[in-house]
Structure 1
């Protein structure tokens, strides 16, 4: 585990746990179509049935990011998470609705990228070089 310092481990797990917690809680809220989420999605122009699909994928993605091994599936989960947050930002900007949520979507996007970049070697695809500074 070259370069896997205590600080890097702490940063990785902090970002990952936060992203996964949001994925599980947000996914459950989406699946349940709670009033706030349903209204938000409707104002953004999406049908409410989209919430169930999105919610299921969020929960499954969070589980995969926490699970050991399965690096290829993790890559898909990271990509999906990134697309959810950046897509939500574009939806908010395009419609001009609930722009106050852009800051949290930006933070979640950054945390997703951090988790991906800082993940340990055993959570990476073979042949993919780790991100290094210098």
Structure 2
């Protein structure tokens, strides 16, 4: 994938996530009636909206601003946990299929945004090169010879 394509995909998915998190967080904080009804229908208390609203707004800001790579990692993790939790909640509550489409789409956008980040927004690698090589090429590490211990010296 060219760096231009990667950059366009990164900024598109990031803009979607930031917009959804900011608008969704505000909707949670003002307890928009449809949002509150949906959360209560899933079996959660209404005060969860305040908690999620604050986290979403702060997460959107953390993902949007330059710098702070560790904070971005936490924001992406929170995004993943919230969206996968939303999918699980809808699955267990018997929601209709349309309640899976948007959280699923936003979850894919979130993972794509995280995976496509430019180097300046990356905290580190997911797997160090040596671990990645062991995971992807285990046959290279099966026949390593270890140094055999030396014979103990004879005691006279």
> What's the TM-score, normalizing by structure 2?
0.78
TM-superposed CA distance for 1:86, in Å, is 0.5
Q: Which structure carries more helix by proportion?
A: 1
> What's the TM-score, normalizing by structure 1?
0.90
Q: Which has the larger radius of gyration?
A: 2
Structure 1: runs of 5 or more not aligned: 130-134
TM-superposed CA distance for 1:97, in Å, is 2.6
TM-superposed CA distance for 1:49, in Å, is 0.5
> What is aligned with 1:132?
none
Higher relative contact order (CA 8 A, sep 6+): 1
Q: 2: distance between equivalents of 1:98 and 1:20?
A: 26
Q: 2: distance between equivalents of 1:90 and 1:126?
A: 30
Give the RMSD, CA atoms, in angstroms: 1.7
Q: Would the alpha carbon gap of residues 65 and 15 (structure 1) be closer, same or farther in structure 2, given more than 3 Å must change?
A: same
Q: How many residues align?
A: 128
Moved over 2 A (4+): 126-129
> What is aligned with 1:111?
109
TM-superposed CA distance for 1:14, in Å, is 0.1
TM-superposed CA distance for 1:88, in Å, is 0.3
Contact 1:27 1:57 in 2 (8 A): yes
> What is aligned with 1:18?
16
